[in-house]
Amino acid sequence: MLPTGTADQCFLDVVGDVHGCLDELLQLMAALGYRVERLAGNYAVVPPPGRKLAFVGDLVNRGPATAQVLRMAMSMAAAGQAFCVAGNHDEKLLRALTGQDAESAPDLAQSVVQLDGEPDGFRAQAVEFLRGLPAFLLFDGGRLAIAHAGIKDPAGILEWTQGSLSAEARAFALHGEAAGELDETAAPRRPRWAADYRGKALVVYGHTPLAEPLWLNNTAAIDTGCVYGGRLTALRYPERATVSVPAKAVYSRSRRPFQVNALLAAQTEKA
């Protein structure tokens, strides 16, 4: 699938993994200057002049309000106020909703129940939205790239805009490094691609929950683990400033403790 971001849109607020945390998303949007009203079951948003949102993916699963977060992203995307790339969880939910995957995982089953609790037609609209999410987006004439788990090959970015992504490149953008590419402990996971990154485009990504946003070379990791009781973070572009709001609760238990960024950076330097 081709990226659909417009090249000239360069005043963006890039939002990390939301995972169904609607309250925190609303709070973060308020902190960024977005006015939100609920009208007839939908969201009507007034962004600050000239700005738009861009989600790094993983809108869904694990959190308390997957359907409402989808509704927000879908309303804003339809109004031309937001962009979104696909995360591994968005893909997983799409597979469950279209019967390609078992709904057995508890967070997945909970999301499907939440969607089925919405008025008629919403589930079909959500499927259409999830199916249309690109693996990555480029903005500002290629100076900003957004992908859920990152982009390994910066030189490939411009090539990819000439054609569809290979299955391998799409898998990397959604899932990141395969287990075989991790070190022997696999914890903390190192964003090896970011350590090796030498591209000119700033790459903003999420996927791996961190205690703080992490800048490494020309990349910014902004998943600060909201659904695990951390924070929801946005990166303002071109300002390169981050804004975070704390989680109101621990909605899901992380399988491993958040990476300590100093340790992560030290390990990546050694790598």
Residue numbers at the binding site for Mn ion (CB under 5 A): 17, 58
**Residue 51 exposure: Cα atoms within 13 Å on the Cβ side:** 21
- The answer to whether 217 touches 11, Cβ cutoff 8 Å, is no
Q: Cβ closer to Mn ion: 47 or 205?
A: 205
Residue 96 sits at the vertex; the CA angle it makes with 92 and 100, to the nearest 5 degrees, is 100
Determine the residue type at 188: P
Task: In angstroms, give the least distance from the CB of 223 to Mn ion.
Answer: 6
Count of alpha carbons within 13 Å of 96, Cβ hemisphere only? 24
Residue 112 contacts residue 104 (beta carbons within 8 Å): no
Give 13 or 58: the residue with its C-beta nearer to Mn ion: 58
Residue closest to Mn ion (Cβ): 58
- In a 10 Å sphere around its CB, with 0-12 CB exposed, 13-18 middle and 19+ buried, how is residue 167 labelled? exposed
- Nearer residue to Mn ion within complex by CB, 12 or 18: 18
User: Which CB atom, from 17 or from 140, has the smaller least distance to Mn ion?
Assistant: 17
Burial of 153 (C-beta count, 10 Å sphere; 0-12/13-18/19+): middle
Q: Which C-beta is closer to Mn ion: that of 58 or that of 107?
A: 58
Using CA atoms, how far apart are residues 215 and 217, in angstroms rounded to an integer? Answer: 7
Do 61 and 14 contact (CB within 8 A), yes or no?
A: no
Find the shortest distance in angstroms from Cβ 7 to Mn ion.
Answer: 27
Helix, strand, coil share of the chain (percent; to 5) = 35, 20, 45
Distance of CA 191 to the CA centre of its chain: 16
- The residue (of 13 and 17) whose beta carbon lies closer to Mn ion is 17
Retrieve residue 130's tokens.
């999830």
* CB-nearer residue toward Mn ion: 60 or 169: 60
Residue-by-residue DSSP string for 241-252: EEEEEE-SS--S
